[in-house]
Amino acid sequence: MLELKDLHGGYGKIQILNGTSFKIPPASITTVIGPNGAGKSTVFKAVFGLLNITSGQILMDGQDVTRRTPKQMIDAGVTYVPQGRNVVPQLSVYHNLELGGITSNNQARVRDRIEQVMDQFPMLRQFKDRKAIELSGGQQKQLEVARTLLLDPKLILIDEPSIGLSPNLVQEVFRTLQALRDQGVTILMVEQNAKSALAMSDYGLVLELGQTRMHDAADKLLADPRVGHLFLGGHIEEEETA
């Protein structure tokens, strides 16, 4: 569904991606893990048209989408949920949902989708007139995910959804993502919370120094001692050369 082929790119002259390659199938959840600064968030920016790509290719369903703009990527069915809180705190839940569809040319469709999304997330309907800031952290993350659904994404890029959430709320957000996967949406996620993220994912991908070091079924990665080493702050390369 999404393929990166030997992607190089970075910020200005600083090269961060040094030949990132991977392929993810449709209707799956893939978690990207790796040390701080490995380039995980940068991969998302590259896919979403926010990075200076110097060489390599990004393919979606076999079509070349390298160097498209964010608007073009949204039109191609990609949405991006960045790290941190991205709701407008003083606006109501409903108004925050409306913002999700602001770029759409079909506002009637957006209004229908808001209703459908509120059916899917009854909590949002229950609290639709509350200010977003009055929701819990996990509920705000669900609002962000729900908001991206207004654009009917085929692929959701979600960066560290568990940050700042209690373990229960993390599980709630993960269940939401799994339900979307079951409906056919493809999810690529970056997570610091690697163990619990891999446990709910189909595939895992280890990124180091802007390159894919490992890519396998999530349960296989979880059981791999090299990944255990990574969880403790080590590097895959050290282990390989040790």
Ligand X SMILES: Nc1ncnc2c1ncn2[C@@H]1O[C@H](COP(=O)(O)OP(=O)(O)OP(=O)(O)O)[C@@H](O)[C@H]1O
Name the site residues for ligand X (rule: CB under 6 A): 11, 14, 16, 34, 36-42
As measured in angstroms, the least distance from the Cβ of 26 to ligand X is: 24
CB atoms within 10 A of CB 28: 16
Helical residues (DSSP H) of the chain, grouped into ranges: 40-47, 70-75, 93-100, 107-120, 122-126, 137-149, 167-182, 194-199, 218-223, 225-231, 236-241
CB of 109 to ligand X, least distance (A): 34
Using N-to-C axis directions, what is the helix angle for 107-120 and 93-100, rounded to 10°?
A: 130
Residue with Cβ nearer ligand X (42 or 186): 42
Q: For residue 13, what are its two tokens?
A: 């002259």
Minimum Å gap between C-beta 209 and ligand X is 10
In the block, residue with structure tokens 């978690």: 31
Least gap, CB of 159 to ligand X (angstroms)? 8
Q: What is the rounded CA–CA span in Å between residue 50 and residue 158? A: 15
Give whichever of 46 and 124 is closer to ligand X, judged by the CB atom: 46
Q: Name which of 41 and 79 has its Cβ closer to ligand X.
A: 41
Q: Which is nearer to ligand X, 66 or 193 (CB)?
A: 193
